[in-house]
Chains A and B, each alone.
Chain A
Amino acid sequence: MSSPYAPSLRLAAPAGVLIDRSRTIQFRFAGEVMEALAGDTIASALIANGRWLMSRSFKYHRPRGPASLAGCEANTLVQVGDEPNVLADLRAVQDGDDVQPLNVRAGVDHDRLAILDAFSRFLPVGFYYRDFYGRRWTWDRWEPRIRAMAGLGRIASQGRTHGLAQRFVHCDVAVVGGGPAGLAFAAEASRHGADVAVFEQLPRLGGSLLWGRLRADSLLDATARALRLGQLELPSDVRAFVCASVTGLFEDGLLSVVTKDELLKVRARWIVMAQGGYEQLPVFPENDLPGVALPSGLLRLMRLYGVRPGRRAVVLAADDAAYGAAVDLLDAGVEVGALVDLRGSISGPDDCIDVLERQGTRLLDRAAHVRGVARRGRRHLDALEVRMAAGETLRFACDVAAISAGTIPAYGLAGQGGARVRYDDARRNFVVEAAPGTMELVGTMAGISDLDGAIQHAQERAARAFGAPPPAASSVDACRHSPQALAAWPLFEGGGKAFIDLDEDLQPADLRESIALGYSDMQLLKRFSTVGMGPSQGRHSSLATLRVLAQASGAATASTGIATPRPPAGEETVAHFAGWAHGPFRRTALHAAHLAAGATMMAVGDWQRPAFFGSPANREHAIASEVEAVRTRAGLFDVGTLGGLLVRGADAASFLERIYCGRYLSMKPGGVRYALMLDETGAVYDDGLIARVEQDVFYVTTTTGHSDAIYRLLLRWNAQWSLDVDVTNVTTAYCGLNLAGPASRAILEQLCGEDDISQAAFGYMKNRTLCIGGVRALVMRVGFLGELGFEMHLPSRHAAAVLEKILHAGAAHGLAPVGVEAQRLLRLEKGHIIVGQDSDAIATPHELGLGALVAMDKPFFLGQRALRVRLAKTASRVLICWAGPPGARSSVAEGHLVVDGRDLLGHVTSVGYSAALGRTIGMAIVSPKSAEPASRITLRGEGGELFGAEVATAPFYDPQGARQKL
């Protein structure tokens, strides 16, 4: 190890509340074996091993170490095994972890690309916009190099492919942040009967009570902290989620919460914003050296993980909290050489000042310039140089600096949820206000930095929200009394790179240059300069950005506005959103029977349907023998997934005439007609059958996917037209069975008793109500598959019994159960389209060859007006059938292209190999010029395979349709 300074030591308990000193863990960093304690994060373990330098910056490859120890900045992004972009200061280190630094070539300590730092003027602000916008060729040349330089981590292509679990959490109150204010609100709300859930990013509740040091006297020792934590202990019915970060707040109060292996979708009536705040990074040269950290970061390091950050420290303070951190550093045995108050006067808490003075810390105000100093290679902070306003320059040797320009509220999530965030000139800070009625702001989020005030305020807000009368002398407003105004700290520039945004390596000059180029609106400045767009999302840079913008554009600070906060507010992975491959599906009444018969099931819309009967290994053969059974004997299909609607009433026929394209008024009871529905743009939307069962009773089928939507659509038009019609959805009340094939009548005759079902008594496209095996069923003579066929719709609860009877009766005739795949091929041989597969969202009936079914002369039907307009124009596409050369198979699949050299003529919608024809056949939507029968077309299959085919005249099979009318 090449650490430039002596290893840090572990501090004695009570420091280190999150670590277990009895369990040692071994892990590797950049190949080197290191020791950690259970409960350590990767970052705390590395610092305990004397290593602050963890990764290098994205743009200039500058050495970087952690600043917040709370996962707030990109400095700590590392690779852990296969997992890229892990925040080392949030991730608990595991035994055997293999940790690698990011943005590094040839070692984190001696990075080859560190030379970029010296050539930074060649990577100007707005680099991408300037060099690539409208100049595509430059991008082609630069892209490989930029990718090689900038890639954050490596994605393992052989890595995990499954998603993580997703879970819903419902509660009355969701508290974001388990610090003192959040806990106070949670406990009080729970006492009033509310169902409360608390979400905390750390493995333990307590927030700043675990590490904070607001004043020298408060929370000075472990006992005081424990006492406070005890007071805020949550009732047992409050659900606490730890290691859980809230990443987004969406419409209707939906919170997304990310844990290591779950995405929680939280819905709460009330959302309590108790995230606390972010310390702001003072801007001075070399403020990014490893060893330079926020006071809260150093406090976390000491208090949570028991790691002493260094030997000698300097503090840059702009509020009381930094004085507290200075005292804590002293307590941990770190010498504090100097404290520089950026406010221009020593105005910390008196007790802190006393302690610091006693310990020999020099308290300085009126600093004119501050600069970090490091040896060659800049791997760690060596000293801080302070030039006083009087001219004197002081140099303090130190290996750690605690720097803060004050704390802003963590407003991101509240802003996403509709609260207004603005800059307040009097307080020189961001203020969150006008929160929606379902949002509560407490603690730092409400502008309260005083611990007792924050707890009291939160308790009172909770009591008020949950029914208790407000206290007589309400102190709610009173405790807003002392919002400390932030210091008007200066930006120290000159003598090295001074950073505003560490993620993006941006300096004040970069922002000024962007503003000078005209990007003087906060939203534009953010996009052009990328300030605040890195993983830290401006947590530590937004205040400085705002001040630079206000100075440079001459506007009042308050009027510059803020960049719109958007999700995610924290790190989340694609795996969290992928979730499990878990889709609920619907089963027909015959599902169990299909499984018992050995069906391989497939998903069709919401439904599970048998693809074919047999094992997947035997797929081709199974489908071919099912097709053969239908063509030569008989097959039985489950069509229970079709939508079924009963349309009844005196106006039923005229209602259907207004909905569908065909004619139904003239239809006699006992008839069946094809039903084609258009949408209002004149495109084919759905198809099915309409059977007139009685004069005023129609049974209407819809496609599998549209049954619910069409039911709604019918009800809605009925509500508007007020006709004498009622519509009942019987989709799942009825199950459908289709018996097709030359032997189907002989099979059915055995089951329907005395009823005559001969062609003479029950002809093609007729319906009858028959008793099949003792069950009343509506039976339709149809021929979708090109053979004699009977489609039976009967009550679902009897479907399995009837299925069994039919299979039994059909055994002697060679009846076979048949799945979806054979059905698709059979209808393809007949040239029958499947709406939604062979049609798309814009195809007219005429483009699909269904024009003859549209009664354009009716007074009105849905889509008629638009279709009239479209028919007046020349069609640009048409659906054709095509056939390949005899015997030839190909890789052409649905969605593949019809091509002519480099021109695209259309795409394939259906394809299958017809054993009956000995050819590959299919359908395609093409331009009319390639639609002439017998003309040649070229299909481009998998991997560019070109397959020649001929435009064919449908149907391929039984062109006269004689077989279905037997």
Chain B
Amino acid sequence: MRCPLNGWRGIEEFVYGGEVRDMPDPDTCDDEAWSRYVFMRRNPRGVVVEWWFHMPSGLWFIAQRDTGSGDVVATYTVSQWFAQEQARGAGVPEER
């Protein structure tokens, strides 16, 4: 896998961190919405945006991965990704 900081590294150096998701506002959302956030996962087939961690350097980053083929399409640093998302005006986690 290509770490955005360290380049190509063996897959055993990485830890998977699940899909990038927005946390609903805990003060305003209802129990139902919070429960969905805590327990439900989309698990789609296709390209998803995920958290990945490079263990030796302690770096969380963002990867686009095709769950059908297992191919990693692209990787970004967290700041790259969210800057890009902000520019597109979508999908920014509320917690930021």
Q: Are B26 and A860 in contact (CB under 8 A)?
A: yes
Q: Which residue of B lies closest to A658 (CB)?
A: B95
Query: How does the 8 Å CB contact mask read for A688-722 relative to B, with 1 for contact and 0 for none?
Result: 00000000000000000000000110011001111
Q: Are B34 and A869 in contact (CB under 8 A)?
A: yes
Chain A residues lying within 8 Å of B17, measured Cβ to Cβ, are 712, 716
Chain B residues lying within 8 Å of A131, measured Cβ to Cβ, are none
Chain A residues lying within 8 Å of B26, measured Cβ to Cβ, are 860, 864-865
Q: Which residue of B lies closest to A252 (CB)?
A: B70
Q: Which residue of A lies closest to B69 (CB)?
A: A436
Whether B41 sits at the interface, judged by CB under 8 Å, is no
Complex Cα–Cα for A869 and B17 (A): 26
Q: Which residues of B contact A (CB under 8 A)?
A: 11, 15, 17, 26, 31, 34-35, 37-39, 51, 53, 58, 60, 70, 78, 93, 95-96
Whether A143 sits at the interface, judged by CB under 8 Å, is no
Complex Cα–Cα for A646 and B60 (A): 18
Q: Are A681 and B38 in contact (CB under 8 A)?
A: yes
A681-B39, A716-B51, A716-B53 known; 15 new pairs, CB 8 Å cut-off, are A252-B70, A680-B37, A680-B38, A712-B15, A712-B53, A712-B60, A715-B53, A715-B58, A719-B60, A720-B93, A720-B95, A722-B96, A729-B58, A865-B34, A866-B38
CB distance from B88 to the nearest CB of A (A): 18
List CB contacts (< 8 Å) of A702-756 with chain B.
Answer: 711-712, 715-716, 719-722, 729
Chain A residues lying within 8 Å of B15, measured Cβ to Cβ, are 712
Complex Cα–Cα for A963 and B35 (A): 44
Chain B residues lying within 8 Å of A903, measured Cβ to Cβ, are none
Q: Are A251 and B70 in contact (CB under 8 A)?
A: yes
Chain A residues lying within 8 Å of B39, measured Cβ to Cβ, are 681
Complex Cα–Cα for A716 and B17 (A): 9
Chain B residues lying within 8 Å of A715, measured Cβ to Cβ, are 53, 58, 60
What would be 7 A-B contacts, judged by CB atoms less than 8 Å apart?
A252-B11, A680-B37, A681-B38, A716-B60, A719-B78, A865-B26, A865-B34
Q: Which 4 A-B pairs have the closest CB atoms?
A: A865-B26, A719-B60, A719-B78, A680-B38
> Interface centre among A720, A722, A869, by most B CB within 10 Å?
A720
CB distance from B68 to the nearest CB of A (A): 10
Complex Cα–Cα for A379 and B93 (A): 75
Complex Cα–Cα for A697 and B11 (A): 34
Complex Cα–Cα for A719 and B76 (A): 13
Q: How large is the interface on A (under 10, 10 to 19, 20 to 34, 35 or more residues)?
A: 10 to 19
CB distance from B39 to the nearest CB of A (A): 8
Chain B residues lying within 8 Å of A716, measured Cβ to Cβ, are 17, 51, 53, 60
Q: Contact check: which of A680, A720, A865 meets B96 at CB < 8 Å?
A: A720
Chain A residues lying within 8 Å of B96, measured Cβ to Cβ, are 720-722
Q: Are B95 and A869 in contact (CB under 8 A)?
A: no
Chain B residues lying within 8 Å of A860, measured Cβ to Cβ, are 26
Q: Which residue of B lies closest to A436 (CB)?
A: B69
Q: Contact check: which of A252, A711, A722, A866 meets B34 at CB < 8 Å?
A: A866
Chain B residues lying within 8 Å of A719, measured Cβ to Cβ, are 60, 78
CB distance from B70 to the nearest CB of A (A): 7
Q: Which residue of A lies closest to B26 (CB)?
A: A865
Chain A residues lying within 8 Å of B34, measured Cβ to Cβ, are 865-866, 869
CB distance from A21 to the nearest CB of B (A): 50
CB distance from A360 to the nearest CB of B (A): 59
CB distance from B1 to the nearest CB of A (A): 11
Chain B residues lying within 8 Å of A869, measured Cβ to Cβ, are 31, 34-35
Complex Cα–Cα for A864 and B23 (A): 13
Chain A residues lying within 8 Å of B53, measured Cβ to Cβ, are 712, 715-716
Chain B residues lying within 8 Å of A864, measured Cβ to Cβ, are 26
Complex Cα–Cα for A252 and B15 (A): 16
Q: Which residue of A lies closest to B51 (CB)?
A: A716
CB distance from B67 to the nearest CB of A (A): 12
Complex Cα–Cα for A716 and B60 (A): 6
Chain B residues lying within 8 Å of A681, measured Cβ to Cβ, are 38-39
Complex Cα–Cα for A303 and B29 (A): 76
List CB contacts (< 8 Å) of A862-879 with chain B.
Answer: 864-866, 869
CB distance from B77 to the nearest CB of A (A): 9
CB distance from B85 to the nearest CB of A (A): 13
Chain A residues lying within 8 Å of B35, measured Cβ to Cβ, are 869
Complex Cα–Cα for A711 and B53 (A): 11
Complex Cα–Cα for A251 and B96 (A): 35
Complex Cα–Cα for A721 and B23 (A): 12
CB distance from A307 to the nearest CB of B (A): 48
Complex Cα–Cα for A869 and B78 (A): 32
Complex Cα–Cα for A721 and B95 (A): 6
Q: Which residue of B lies closest to A251 (CB)?
A: B70
Chain B residues lying within 8 Å of A722, measured Cβ to Cβ, are 96
Q: Which residue of B lies closest to A869 (CB)?
A: B31
Chain A residues lying within 8 Å of B51, measured Cβ to Cβ, are 716
Q: Which residue of A lies closest to B11 (CB)?
A: A252
Chain B residues lying within 8 Å of A866, measured Cβ to Cβ, are 34, 38
List CB contacts (< 8 Å) of A400-433 with chain B.
Answer: none
Chain B residues lying within 8 Å of A720, measured Cβ to Cβ, are 78, 93, 95-96
> Interface centre among A681, A719, A860, A864, by most B CB within 10 Å?
A719
CB distance from A723 to the nearest CB of B (A): 11
Complex Cα–Cα for A711 and B95 (A): 20
Complex Cα–Cα for A719 and B70 (A): 25
Q: Which residue of A lies closest to B61 (CB)?
A: A719
CB distance from B57 to the nearest CB of A (A): 11
CB distance from A489 to the nearest CB of B (A): 39
Chain A residues lying within 8 Å of B11, measured Cβ to Cβ, are 252
Query: How does the 8 Å CB contact mask read for A842-872 relative to B, with 1 for contact and 0 for none?
Result: 0000000000000000001000111001000
Chain A residues lying within 8 Å of B78, measured Cβ to Cβ, are 719-720
Complex Cα–Cα for A949 and B33 (A): 44
CB distance from A268 to the nearest CB of B (A): 15
Chain B residues lying within 8 Å of A711, measured Cβ to Cβ, are 58
Chain B residues lying within 8 Å of A680, measured Cβ to Cβ, are 37-38
CB distance from A251 to the nearest CB of B (A): 7
Q: Which residue of A lies closest to B39 (CB)?
A: A681
Complex Cα–Cα for A860 and B96 (A): 14
Q: Which residue of B lies closest to A872 (CB)?
A: B31
Complex Cα–Cα for A722 and B83 (A): 13
Chain A residues lying within 8 Å of B37, measured Cβ to Cβ, are 680
CB distance from B72 to the nearest CB of A (A): 12
CB distance from A439 to the nearest CB of B (A): 13
Q: Which residue of A lies closest to B95 (CB)?
A: A720
CB distance from A893 to the nearest CB of B (A): 33
